[in-house]
Structure 1
């Protein structure tokens, strides 16, 4: 479900999505968005009204920071909000770049990414599950890393495949409404480059999603989330809490 928080880009709620067992995922527990720096002071009032007190930032250190494009915030605008930086990858890891570099904006990279960094993924989930109030999860555009973590949480909750696809596609389309989503790895140059000037036409966006949808569905049907978390050292109590996080 799309929300309107002033200044926020690509903000939505992981609630209201169909579960395999019937019913819907709980609203107002997990929100997702693009980088939080776009949120205005009024937007942070909206976020607090939604109950948010914890923000999980999935970006790498080179992506974080305010620029002249971001709104100026009054002192205290984010008072009461805890920001936790919990990257899902190591952008300086040559093996990560070799295996995932060509697929950084594609569900094809998810399983490899998660298998390479179980400690990073489990940290993200630990912060989310230990928060005592609704959580906002974001990366740069709210599309790729946020899509991966959001899909994992929905998979653990028992969301229907169509629900996971719908949430991912909403985040992907939401990111495309703005010029770019952050950084990408240039395979030829062998370096990270800004994709801030990236623009999608409607046909290009549809084609991109048509390409990604089968890979996402294959991931949903084949990824054993519980076995992954067990191997990552997540205890049974936490695994159960994660299962129930998005269930009414």
Structure 2
């Protein structure tokens, strides 16, 4: 018997944005250094070509091994790009609530993000080093472009000297895109989540805390400072040095 074939529907990203324009130490982060995105493995050929034509030279894939095994690199594999697979979680089910009722509680999400920074600090340091050394633009993505992507975006902005308000504002820009993100994720994540014992339909209709989404990122920063003093301390302990930070800031302002 053979495994059922999954029909992959290619589509344009719905949560892609350049981090350019955010105030950092010494000025304003330029466009063309770092892009954050939802799943880039299922973008259309035209979208892939457009990204490369606009200066994309490296991709950091933050998805789990299970997720990446389903779609691989997608159309971007046909272009001369550096590809780096740096999973920030062992399994997509990590941090999922137990039971039949799923509730998105933004403080709990922020606490999960803080643990991710602590547990995946080596991967995050590697990602920052890639961005520092890549000659063109680097795009990083997970599935939705919110949680794992949001964590990497936050530590990058921290390293560049952005303030908390701007980091939180960037994170919260994903909120209006969530309905489109969920619809785009469904063809790939549906079968994977079912295999892991989760019902994606139930999860997309789960109860959402009435608190604003930005509380998650605020909580992450707060918890890291409560435990370490410096939100970047776990990354510094994992090898983030002044040389990498200096290189990032030079590239961000160039």
Contact (CA 8 Å) 1:142, 1:172: kept in 2 or not?
no
| RMSD, aligned CA | 3.7
Equivalent positions of 1:90-109 (< 5 A) are 90-91=90-91, 97=94, 100-102=95-97, 106-109=109-112
TM-score, normalised on structure 2? 0.72
Name the CA shift for 1:245/1:27 in 2 (closer, same or farther; >3 Å): same
Structure 1 stretches lacking a partner, 5+ long: 1-5
Return the TM-score normalized by structure 1.
0.74
- Deviation larger for 124-133 or 101-110: 101-110
Instruction: Please point out which of 2, 7, 15 is paired with 2:12.
Output: 7
Equivalent residue, structure 2, for 1:3: none
Alignment partner for residue 41 of structure 1, among 45, 58, 67?
Answer: 45
Pairs within 5 Å for 1:182-197 = 182=189, 191=196, 193=198, 195=200
Alignment match, 1:78: 78
Deviations 1:198-238 (A, max 9, x none): 5469x948645165254145258666245333311234312
CA contact (8 A) 1:89 1:117 kept: yes
Q: How do 1:24-39 residues align onto structure 2 when only pairs under 5 Å count?
A: 24-39=28-43
Which residue pairs with 1:118 in the alignment? 121
Q: 1: distance between equivalents of 2:63 and 2:220?
A: 22
Aligned to 2:133: 130
Structure 1 residues 195 and 228, CA gap change in structure 2 (3 angstroms): same
* Aligned pair partner of 2:239 in 230, 233, 241: 233
Contact 2:169–2:214 (CA under 8 A) maintained in structure 1? no
Q: Which has the higher helix share?
A: 2
Does the 8 A contact of 2:110 with 2:219 survive in 1? yes
2:219 is matched with 215
How many residue pairs get aligned? The number is 227
1:36-68 Cα shifts (integer Å, max 9, x gaps): 12311111121012200111000011112556x
Match of 2:174 in 1: 171
Q: 1:86 Cα deviation (Å)?
A: 0.8
In the alignment, structure 2 segments of 5+ residues that lack a partner are: 1-10, 98-104
SS at match of 2:125: helix
* 8 Å Cα contact 2:60/2:83 also seen in 1: yes
Distance between the aligned counterparts of 1:79 and 1:210, measured in 2? 36
Separation (CA, whole Å) in 2 of partners of 1:167 and 1:226: 18
CA deviation profile, 1:91-114 (whole Å, cap 9, x unmatched): 29xxx95xx555898221222222
Q: Distance in 1 between matches of 2:144 and 2:120?
A: 21
Deviation of 1:145 (Å): 0.1
In structure 2, the CA distance between the partners of 1:206 and 1:37, relative to structure 1 (3 Å rule), is farther
Structure scoring higher RCO (CA < 8 A, sep ≥ 6) equals 2
Separation in structure 2 between the aligned mates of residue 8 and residue 161 of structure 1, nearest angstrom: 27
